[in-house]
Chains A and B, each alone.
Chain A
Amino acid sequence: MSGDYLPQELLIQILLWLPPKSLLRFRCVSKSWCSLISSSNFIDIHTRNLPHVTNTRKLIRHCTTTSPREEVYSVFFDNQSSFDRDDDVKIDFPFTSRTKYRIVGSCNGLICLSDDAFSGYAYKIVLWNPSIRRKLTVPLPDIILKNMGYMFVLGFGFDCKANDYKIVRLSYKSARNTSTLPPLVEVYSVKTGAWRHISAPAPMCHISGYFWPQVFVNGAAHWVAYSLNCGQLRSLILSFDMCDEVFREIMLPGCLAGESPWYMGVVVIQDSLSVVDYDKSLNMLSVWVMKDYNVVESWTKQYNIDSEVGLGIMLGVRRNGEVLLTTRNEELVDYDMQTRGSMDLITGGVKNSFFVDTYKESFALLFEGGKTRI
């Protein structure tokens, strides 16, 4: 009885807790293990289990100031009293270094990058899953817009009902001082490999900061946005739900609604949607966390950081509550709110190239992506 015979349905319950690297290796165990692990049914189950997997590591990306610039991805153990590199995880960026990418967002360990901030004209969107070394270059939408005169906003996330990763693109036609409404909206899905229009109405607001990462939380992509009514500007958060493909507006706390949307950004803190409000002097920032999603009264001011050194971008929060942010000198620091002390983590990065997220390992792109060279 002991250990000799494990029915497949029980074996699956064990396997779905394993990281992809182990599972891909175990395909060699036997024919039945191979077909089980490679089945799309198992991959679906494994993906659905991801929210229950404890994530104790952080992924940090930055570009070096060398020429040509290099993309560096490091993984750190995010422990209570230490933040050490995980040297067992080696991630090599698989795309040409001649293209300058910015990160659109990441979800389940799948990273979406684009070169739109740098090439302006015809641009590339790529998807990459470093944990299983798979990548995909997304074809551009069929609708060819005269790129001069359009501003493109990208969002990236996961549709949990269809078990599919999606990219949403909003194309705003430029107008004097702002853009015309509504934007053209298209959605790309990894499973279909194609772009299409959505049936729900396009949003009637503008998005500031096209080139900052959006965030994917609670099943939707979020951006800082604003509406203009008779010249009166009101800041808000725009969301796009990846399952029902509907745009919604989320109100900011009262004191932020009148603030400039170009000095605000969205970030995820301990799984909650949050807004960072940067002071124009860039010496101070405050962070508001929406404790209950979509409940406006639950907006709570959680952090207030000021620094003579000058602040860059707020990137995230460690599991012990310490803040990860960049300084004006483009160093990534770990800032302790209690002691007001900071520790350098990474120095010498390209301005605004830092990105932080929880490090997740999934099978995204296993079937749809191609192998990376390495």
Chain B
Amino acid sequence: MSKSPEKKLVTLKSSDKEEFVVEESIAVTSETIKNIIEDCGLELIPLPNVDGKTLAKVIEYCTKHSTGSNDDSKFDDECLDTKQLSVLVDMLLAANYLNIKSLFEKVCTKIADRIKDMSVEEVREVFKIENDFTPEEEKKIRDEHAWAHE
């Protein structure tokens, strides 16, 4: 099988050793991968900061967007429609590491939309944040904009 230049393939290897064979033209949607290929000319690119599950989704996104069609909002909603916020956060970290601006922004707005109406407790749970306020301190902050908690 002859390989025409446009159909050059690269292999992306996730942190958990899963390998994905992808067209180079699609892989370079990621500025990070683009730089690695340009600087090192690798065909097998290790991505220790992204797990297989997340990488699969990112590749799916890049594939759909490489066709240049504008009909992607529906796909994006499906692709990013996940019950678990942690999956979205993983995608955010991956999009940041792989430097894919459009995906990064879409995931940001999606996460923002999901947490917009959450309570303080729910947000702490989502982002695994410990409450370091004393009850008095928290009440004081809360009272400064009490209406925002209604």
**A25 and B148: CB pair below 8 A?**
yes
Given known pairs A30-B131, A30-B133, A34-B141, the reply for A22 and B117 (CB within 8 Å) is yes
On whether the beta carbons of A6 and B145 are closer than 8 Å, the reply is no
Task: Indicate the size class of the contact surface on chain B.
Answer: 35 or more
Instruction: State whether A18 touches B148 (Cβ < 8 A).
Output: no
- Residues in A neighbouring B76, C-beta threshold 8 A: none
By beta carbon, the residue of chain B nearest A28 is: B120
Contacts of B111 in A (CB 8 A): 14
Asked if B116 contacts A19 (CB within 8 A), the reply is: yes
Q: Tell me if A31 is interfacial: C-beta within 8 Å of chain B.
A: yes
- Check: B3 CB closer than 8 A to any chain A CB: no
B56 located at the interface, meaning its Cβ lies under 8 Å from any Cβ of chain A in the complex? no
Give 8 nearest A-B pairs by CB, closest first.
A3-B86, A17-B112, A24-B145, A24-B148, A25-B148, A2-B86, A3-B89, A28-B120
Question: Could you tell me if A17 and B108 are in contact, using CB atoms closer than 8 angstroms?
Answer: yes
A373 to chain B, nearest CB (A): 11
Interchain nearest-CB distance for B107 vs A (Å): 9
Contacts between chains A and B (CB distance < 8 A), count: 85
Separation of A11 and B118 alpha carbons in the complex (Å): 16
Contact A28 B93 (CB under 8 A): no
Task: Please give, as numbers and ranges, the residues of chain A lying within 8 Å of B83 by CB-CB distance.
Answer: none
A29 adjacent to B86 (CB under 8 Å):
no
B72 at the interface (CB under 8 A from A): no
Is A1 on the interface with B (CB-CB < 8 A)? yes
Residues of chain B with a CB closer than 8 A to A6's CB: 89, 92-93, 127
Query: Could you mark each residue 108-150 of chain B with 1 if its beta carbon is under 8 Å from any beta carbon of chain A, else 0?
Result: 1101110111111001101111111100001001101101110
Chain A minimum-CB-distance residue to B89? A3
Asked if A26 is an interface residue, CB under 8 A from chain B, the answer is: yes
A133 touches B147 (CB 8 A): yes
Chain A positions 1 through 43: 1 when the CB is less than 8 Å from some CB of chain B, otherwise 0: 1111110001101110111011011111111011000000000
Complex partner residue of B129 from A14, A18, A33, CB under 8 angstroms: A33
Among B90, B112, B118, B119, the residue within 8 A (CB) of A1 is B90
| Cα–Cα distance between A211 and B86 once the two chains are bound (Å) | 53
Q: Does B20 contact A (CB under 8 A)?
A: no
The contact sample of 30 A-B pairs, CB cut-off 8 A, is A1-B51, A1-B90, A2-B87, A3-B89, A3-B90, A3-B127, A6-B89, A6-B127, A13-B108, A14-B108, A15-B112, A18-B115, A21-B148, A22-B115, A22-B116, A22-B117, A22-B148, A24-B144, A24-B148, A25-B119, A25-B148, A28-B120, A28-B138, A28-B149, A29-B127, A30-B124, A30-B130, A30-B131, A30-B132, A133-B145
Known contacts A1-B51, A28-B141, A30-B133, A10 near B92 by CB under 8 Å = yes
Residue from B51, B96, B145 within 8 A of A10 (CB atoms): B96
User: Considering the chains assembled together, what is the distance between the CA atoms of A5 and B123 in angstroms?
Assistant: 13
The A221-264 residues at the B interface (CB cut-off 8 A) are none
Q: Taking A18-B116, A22-B115 as contacts, is the C-beta distance between A30 and B129 under 8 angstroms?
A: yes
**Taking the complex as formed, is B104 at the interface, i.e. its CB lies under 8 A from any CB of chain A?**
yes
Chain A hits for B92, CB < 8 A? 6, 10, 14
Query: Of A2, A18, A19, which is within 8 A of B90 by CB?
Result: A2
Query: Within the complex, which residue of A1, A21, A26, A374 is in contact with B120, where a contact is CB–CB below 8 Å?
Result: A26
A27 engages B112 (CB within 8 Å): no
Report whether B104 and A13 are in contact in the complex, using a CB–CB cutoff of 8 Å: yes
Residues on A with beta carbons closer than 8 Å to the beta carbon of B104: 13
